Structure 1
Amino acid sequence: MMKNRSVPTDTVLPHVMYECIPDALTWLGRVFGFVEHYRYGERGGPVNGAQVYAGNACIQVSRARGFPTPMDLGHGTVYLTVFVDDVDAHYARTRAEGARIVEELNETIYGERQYAAEDLEGHRWLFSQHVRDLAPEDWGARSFKGSPMKVG
């Protein structure tokens, strides 16, 4: 199979829509710590998109071009979860930068320490860190034997 230098195989690559890509890239970098990998668009024209990383998480930032953003809709439709190494430091940075926190930093029954925030156009992001190793059955979920997910 051919390797792709932009996105590895078996990667889910969400496309998050923004009205102004340069503004979104500046905000996402400053507030959430995303690092830009590349951006694209026609020469002399607007930036149509970019790829950014948060650790190993890869996100495609795309110009809305007719797609409604959460600000247009008046509500969000998804949460994008990004696992980080130090959620406490990430939370402190996000709060200090003035992002709207929609879920305070907390520890879940399934062993995650996490918080949620909205970005400049209303997309909701959940930042999480593994703090306890629990089997799904330990916190009330059911595992399915035929699941292709291999954990641990």
Structure 2
Amino acid sequence: MNTVTPHLLYEDVESALSFLTRAFGFEETLRYNDPAGYVSHAEMRLGEAVIMLGDPGPDYRGPGRRGGATVQIHVQVDDVDSLCRRAREAGANITADLEDQPYGDRSFSADDPEGHAWTFGQTIREVAPEDWGAVAT
């Protein structure tokens, strides 16, 4: 089995764990504290989706400090409307409001406090790729 697991770097892993739990519903499954006392590595789950979080050290500058995201994490969920409300109530920066997409998903986008870009989608109807301008290969 092959899987892709995003490993996101955060200047403050502990704060990121708290935010991702409150705003997006992730559950922490593993935490490693460095002997100096800070969270060096952690893992979280949302349904079957897994992410890793890591502390990159003092020279790292996350996307928020660099002026913008360089990657966007997309997560398929069962109830995107409820998740959007939850994210908004938790203070997530909603960058694209809930909208039905031509390819059959309903989705929204948000940035976390360190500037990582997230999109959450829910398939609401099946649409053939050629019906929305794509080509299946």
TM-score tier after normalising by the smaller chain length: over 0.9
- Which residue among 106, 127, 131 is the counterpart of 1:134? 127
Higher strand share: 2
1:42-121 alignment to 2 at 5 Å?
Answer: 42-43=34-35, 45-65=37-57, 66-121=59-114
Alpha-carbon distance between aligned partners in 1 of 2:132 and 2:10, rounded to the nearest angstrom: 37
Higher RCO (Cα < 8 Å, 6 or more apart): 2
CA RMSD, 1 decimal: 1.3
Paired residues in the alignment total: 136
Q: Secondary structure at the match of 2:22?
A: helix
Question: Kindly, what percent of the aligned residue pairs are identical?
Answer: 42
Deviations 1:72-120 (A, max 9, x none): 2011111100111000000111111221110010011100000000101
Are the counterparts in 1 of residues 69 and 116 from structure 2 also a CA contact under 8 Å?
Answer: yes
In structure 2, stretches of 5+ residues that fail to align are: none
Rounded to whole Å, the distance in 1 between the matches of 2:81 and 2:13 is 28
Aligned match of 1:41 in 23, 30, 33?
33
Shift in CA distance, 132/11, structure 1 to aligned 2, threshold 3 Å? same
Find the aligned partners of 2:118 and 2:87 in 1 and give their Cα distance.
11
Partner amino acid for 1:86? D
Q: What is aligned with 1:4?
A: none
1:41 deviates by 3.3
Structure 1, unmatched stretches of 5+, are 1-8, 145-152
Find the aligned partners of 1:61 and 1:18 in 2 and give their Cα distance. 7
For 2:82 and 2:136, the matched residues in 1 are separated by 32
Write the distance in 2 (CA, Å) between the matches of 1:128 and 1:67: 30
Q: TM-score, structure 2 length as denominator?
A: 0.93
Cα shift at 1:39: 0.9
- CA distance in 2: counterparts of 1:92 and 1:49, whole angstroms: 29
Cα distance between partner residues in 1 of 2:29 and 2:6? 15
- Determine the structure 2 residue equivalent to 1:18: 10
CA drift of 1:37 comes to: 0.8
Structure 2: how far apart are the matches of 1:44 and 1:71?
A: 25
